[in-house]
Amino acid sequence: MTPVGSRDDVGGASPLKGRRCLVLGAGGFIGTNLCRRLQANGAVVQAFGRSQPLPGALGGVDWMTGDFTDHAAVARAVEGNEVIFHLISGSLPESSNKDPIADLSGSVVQTLHLLDIARASGVRKVVFASSGGTVYGIPQQVPIPESAPTNPIAAYGIGKLAIEKYLGLYRHLYGLDYAVLRVANPFGPYQTGRRKQGVIAALARRALDGLPLEIWGTGEVVRDFIYVDDVVSALVASATHDGSHKVFNVGQGEGRSINQIIADLRAILSDRTLDVIYKPGRATDVPVNVLDIGLIYREMGWRPLTSWSDGLRATIEWIRKSAP
C-alpha cells in the first residue's frame, strides 16, 4: 500500500480534481492550509468563514465572509458543492466549560442546521474535523484507539461527539455520507500563535518576541502533535474514502511533553534565552493524549510523513518570516 501524505496527493491525479468543495472555517489555520491544498489538487474551492484569511494566503480561492449562525449565508455557500469540509468550532476546550449552553448552540445546533441544508442541496459528503485531544477524556489506554471509551472532561469534546453521532444519524435517515477525523494537536504555517489555541505556535511566537514562555501546570502533560500538511492530507483522503469505517484518529502516534517541546525550542533557537513561567494547571487538561493511528492507515493508506523536527523548524521559520 502506497502511503497517502503531504507529498503524494498533489497534482492532476487527485480524485478531487474538478470537484466542487466547500471549506467552512476557511480563514482558520487548518482551513487555510486545506484550501491551498485543494486548489493545488484542481478542486473548485468555495471558502467560507467569519475571519478573513491572512493576506495573500488564499489567492484565487472564492472567498465568502459569513457567520455560521447565518443560515441563509451558509445555504448560499453550500449550494452547488459536492463535499463539505466542516472545520468550524464554536469555542475552545477551556472556555466551553464556562458556558456549555453557548458551546452547544454555537457548534451542535448550528451543525444540525448545516446538515439540513446539505441534504436539501444534494451534498454528497461531509468531512468533519473532530477532536482527538478531547473526545476521549482521561484515557484508559495509550495510544488511544477509536474504540476507546469517550468520556470528555470539556463541553467542547462533548459537542464534538454529539456532532459525530448526528452525522451518523443523518446518514441512516437520509443517506448523507460523512467522515469524522479525530485530529490530535495540529501545528504549522498559518497558525500565528497570537490566539488562545496552538501551544507550539504560541510558544514559538513568544520565544521569537523575547517574551517568557507561559505554561499551564508542570509542563509534563503529554500530547500528540501533528504537522498541518499531514492533517490536510488526511482530510483530502477521507473525502473520497468509501469504506465502512467513518471515524478515524489523525495524529503522529507519538507523545511529547510541553517541557520536551521547550527543550527542542531551546535547541533550535540556541541564540535566545527562553524563560519559562509555570501557571496553575487547568481542569480541562488530561495528563496524556496519544492517538492510535493504525485504522486510518489500514483503511486509506494514510500516515504522517513530516517528522517532528522538520515540522517544528518549518513552523518556527514561517512565524519568523510571515506571522503578523
Q: Which three cell numbers stand for residue 228?
A: 498541518
Which DSSP symbol is given to 132?
Answer: T
Active site residue 156: yes
Length of the chain: 324
Helix H or strand E encompassing 279: strand 276-279
Strands (E) in 3-111, as ranges, are 20-24, 44-49, 62-65, 83-86
Q: Which three cell numbers stand for residue 108?
A: 451542535
Q: What secondary structure does DSSP assign to 295-323, as a single string? A: HHHHHH-B---S-HHHHHHHHHHHHHHH-
Q: Which residues contact 135 (CB under 8 A, 6 or more apart)?
A: 150, 152, 157, 160, 161, 164, 182
Say how many C-beta atoms besides its own lie within 10 A of residue 246's C-beta: 17
Q: Which of 136, 156, 170, 178 is catalytic?
A: 156
Helix H or strand E encompassing 164: helix 155-174
Bond prior to 143 in cis (omega within 30° of 0): yes
**183 bridge partner residues:** 131, 250
Which DSSP symbol is given to 203?
Answer: H
Q: Which residue has the cell 482530510?
A: 235
Q: Which three cell numbers stand for residue 35?
A: 484550501
Taking the C-alpha atoms of residue 318 and residue 324, their distance in angstroms, rounded to an integer, is: 11
- 319, 205 Cβ separation under 8 angstroms: yes
| Closest C-alpha among 86, 253, 249, 90 to residue 159 | 90
Tell me which residues are annotated as active site: 156
